[in-house]
Structure 1
Amino acid sequence: MSETPTTLKPIHRIQENVLARSERRLLNWICKRLPRWVTPDMLTFIGIAGAVLIFLGYVFSNIAEEWLWLAIAGYAVQWFGDSTDGSLARFRKIERPRYGYFLDHSCDGLATTMLVVGIGLSPYVTLEFALVALAGYLLLSIHAFLSVRVIGELKLSYLNAGPTELRFILIGLTLAMMAFGHGPGLFGDFSGFDIFVGIVGAILIVLFISQTAVVSRRLAKEEPARNEEWRNRP
């Protein structure tokens, strides 16, 4: 869902990911064909159901790697629910900006936590590395929510990648898990999957720091310090 809250200034959505235009055309095509009984809230919870499938697929991969196919199917379900709920609301002109924004981002946080923790509970990635990636995601989420409040911008993509591109990366990671198996590799006790997930988490944290610096400089220019005013006070 992509609805934004009602604030004193209009929200400028920044979405520069590679697949944005193609995905928008696909979502419009889907929304035109969804039956009337399908509601945005229903789609939101389908997205959560997809996240549950992803979590279970990774956890059950401790039993057999074939369970990873359940995680891949979960990514498709999660994309469908998460990407169409807000699109359907806008298509039918039934948006509820504050409610949609609150529910959508709450569910996004829950879904991402299940997804990343599931990866960390699989035999392929150490939980500590997965939690670094989760911390990076949550920091960027905090940045996005603060930006809505202070500059009226909602940034939906970084480095030309958004949620859909990230899902493709994670599906590729999951296929690699099935192809290469688990266990220590060239990095001693840590697998290549540990290193990959840790690097992704580090990139997200660096993005948070850099974006915080950019917005801070922008706000400092818009709200300069009033040192002279204090000096001139009796």
Structure 2
Amino acid sequence: MSGFTSWFFGDPAQRTQSFLRAQEQRLIQRLILRAPDHIEPAQLSGLGALGAIVAAAALIAAHSWPAAIWIIPPAIAVNWYGLSLDLPLARSRGHEAAADGMAHHLCEIFSQLAVLLAYGFSPFLTLRSATIVLVCYLLFSAYAYIRAATRHVEQMAYIGIGVTEFRILLMLWPFAAILLGVPESLGDRLPAIDVAIMSLAGLTMAGLIAKLFLDSRKITAASGPEE
């Protein structure tokens, strides 16, 4: 069991690791060096939120304007740029403030809400599936914040999938959906995409419950017996 949980949830010594983390961090450092001096971290957070708004609008517009699908990747790339560079830029300048962290997290949550809800009104996902994905995302986000508060461990990736990998999935899904014929099946009473999403969500929730149980035991053991 311990071997499976280590594989599923990651090495405790590498809580924040995701598949692309190393490459992403190198890219972020290069971009920070090229960032204009007048740009503030809060402005980057706002830019990230703006990218999410554009992506959400393109998703919804794809019903009547199929070419809007090509707007989604660059818009999500802008979202990544703004919300991946804002806090590292503040740290590199040596004056990271609580307001920077608040702006980042608010814009991050808003971005995911906007894009996932827009998917529910797009030709690429049903509203039911989009809602299920959104609930799973919010549950994992809430659990990450709870862990940070109780154990001072910021775990941003599960089974190698972090925020960046999730953005890539959101960026590529419209093209995958077209190849899989999802738009043509959305009129069915229970399309195959809903069945797949619900099945994956069930497995995900089971994994989260197992992790909650294991972490609770570790916290209890670490706190020791009450005196």
Query: What band does the TM-score fall into relative to the shorter chain?
Result: 0.7 to 0.9
Q: Which amino acid aligns with 1:171?
A: M
Partner-residue secondary structure (3-state), 2:154: strand
Could you say which residue in structure 2 is the equivalent of 1:155?
Answer: 155
- Contact 2:182–2:193 at 8 Å: present in 1 too? no
Deviation at 1:52, TM superposition (A): 0.2
Q: Deviations over 1:105-153 (max 9, x none)?
A: 2221111110110111112211111111111111111111111111111
Deviation at 1:95, TM superposition (A): 1.0
Could you say which residue in structure 2 is the equivalent of 1:32?
Answer: 33
> With structure 2 as the length reference, what TM-score do the two structures score?
0.85
Aligned partners of 2:65, 2:201: CA distance in 1, in Å?
27
Superposed, 1:63-74 pairs within 5 Å as: 63-74=64-75
> Cα 1:78–1:43, aligned 2, differ >3 Å: closer, same or farther?
same
Could you say which residue in structure 2 is the equivalent of 1:106?
Answer: 106
- Contact 2:42–2:104 at 8 Å: present in 1 too? no
Could you say which residue in structure 2 is the equivalent of 1:119?
Answer: 119
Structure 1 gaps of 5+ residues are: 1-11, 230-234
Q: Is 1:18 aligned with 2:19?
A: yes
Cα-Cα RMSD: 2.3
- Contact 1:50–1:76 at 8 Å: present in 2 too? yes
Q: Which amino acid aligns with 2:56?
A: F
Superposed, 1:1-234 pairs within 5 Å as: 14-96=15-97, 98-179=98-179, 180=181, 182-184=183-185, 188-224=188-224, 226=226
Q: Which structure: larger Rg?
A: 1
Between Structure 1 and Structure 2, the one with more helix by share is 2
> With structure 1 as the length reference, what TM-score do the two structures score?
0.83
- Contact 1:58–1:119 at 8 Å: present in 2 too? yes
Aligned partners of 1:197, 1:122: CA distance in 2, in Å?
16
Q: Which amino acid aligns with 2:158?
A: Y
Could you say which residue in structure 2 is the equivalent of 1:5?
Answer: none
Deviation at 1:214, TM superposition (A): 2.0
- Contact 1:124–1:193 at 8 Å: present in 2 too? no
Q: Which amino acid aligns with 1:49?
A: L
Partner-residue secondary structure (3-state), 1:53: helix
Structure 2 gaps of 5+ residues are: 1-12
